[in-house]
Amino acid sequence: MILGAIEAGGTKFVCATGDETGNVFDRVSIPTTTPAETMAAVDAYFKAHPVDAIGIGSFGPIGVNPDDPKYGYITTTPKPGWGDFDFLGHLKQHVDVPLYWTTDVNEAAYGEAEIGIAKDVPNSIYVTIGTGVGAGVISHNEIFNGRTHTELGHMRLNRLPGDDFENNCPYHDICLEGMAAGPAVGKRTGKAGKDVAEDDPVWATVADYIAQACVNLTVSFAPDTIILNGGVMKQKQLFPIIREKFAAYLNGYEEVPALDQYIVPAGLGDNSGVVGGLLLAKLALSEA
């Protein structure tokens, strides 16, 4: 059995082959240009590397509800050419194997939940804080979706007293993404996050909003584990600050797991998505 994975991001697509334990045999990175060009490269990859099933995680928003006429589509993205693109429909015309379709963050969440840092618990949330903020929720070992997928990057939080930063989101006066994602760090400091000193006070501000988000995830989903990944979280000094602020905000209201096992980095690093894709391919096969 050879499994395939697609991690479809707004900047690049990763296509890979591997096995049901998450071993990656081969991978290629394809720039995200136009659907015609990028998808032709995807089709060619899986023609050259035949697989038994493919797990796909896509940037969004996407249609994830099988009853929705836009199921399988990338829907309202501002990315030129990709709005209203029938991703799954296209793939079905080019590969004749079972496909699993979900968001890029759900795919990564599934990888972490199956064989990553959350493999021993049934309920976990994977949050990536980078160019934007995305999150995938695993509930009782399955991907959680409602009417559509979650958009947890846009949850409202309490503006810190004295923080007059203009929320970096075209839609909202305050939200996690607008206050704490990479571009917000850039605007707050005038440099790229990786060039900001480890002890710059901006990190305490960023950590505060992330801690508030962890409180809201806790009282909403009661997960066993919250996984923080993405470019901003490469600043490892954030973890202890986030845990400390989280504890102060939750203030003992409810019992949670030990914080160094509750708010944690990804176990698979930058591989969460591709590995998740392989495991979702396995799931698609078992359900086919």
Binding site for a copy of itself (CB under 8 A): 61, 76, 123, 139, 144-159, 171-174, 212, 215-224, 249-255, 257
**Interacting residues of 277 by C-beta distance below 8 A, sequence separation 6+:** 4, 5, 6, 7, 16, 54, 55, 56, 57, 107, 111
Rounded least distance, CB 234 to a copy of itself, Å: 25
Q: What backbone torsions phi and psi does residue 67 show, to the nearest 5 degrees?
A: -85, -10
Cβ burial of 99 (10 Å; 0-12, 13-18, 19+) is buried
d(CA 110, CA 133): 17
Nearer to a copy of itself, 23 or 158 (CB): 158
Long-range contacts for 90-93 (Cβ within 8 Å, ≥24 apart)? 90/35, 90/39, 91/39, 91/42, 91/43, 91/54, 91/56
Q: Quote the strand ranges of 182-252, DSSP E.
A: 225-229
Q: Is the dihedral of CA 175, 236, 185, 268 positive or negative?
A: negative
Cα–Cα nearest to 18, from 274, 288, 287, 284: 274
Cβ-based nearer residue to a copy of itself, 26 or 173:
173
With respect to a copy of itself, which residue has the nearer C-beta, 2 or 247?
247
> In angstroms, what is the minimal distance from the CB of 246 to a copy of itself?
11
**Cα 276 from Cα 268, distance rounded (Å):** 10
Rg (CA), the chain: 19
What's the closest the beta carbon of residue 205 comes to a copy of itself, in angstroms? 15
Minimum CB–partner distance for residue 249 and a copy of itself (Å): 7
Choose between 147 and 236: whose C-beta lies nearer to a copy of itself: 147
Query: Contact, 125 vs 217, CB < 8 A?
Result: yes
Give the shortest CB-145-to-a copy of itself separation in angstroms. 7
* Least distance in angstroms from the C-beta of 41 to a copy of itself: 30
| Nearest distance, CB of residue 87 and a copy of itself, angstroms | 18
Query: Considering beta carbons, is residue 256 or 285 the nearer one to a copy of itself?
Result: 256
Cβ nearer to a copy of itself, comparing 3 with 259 = 259
Closer CB to a copy of itself, 53 or 263, in the complex: 263
First-last CA distance in the chain: 14
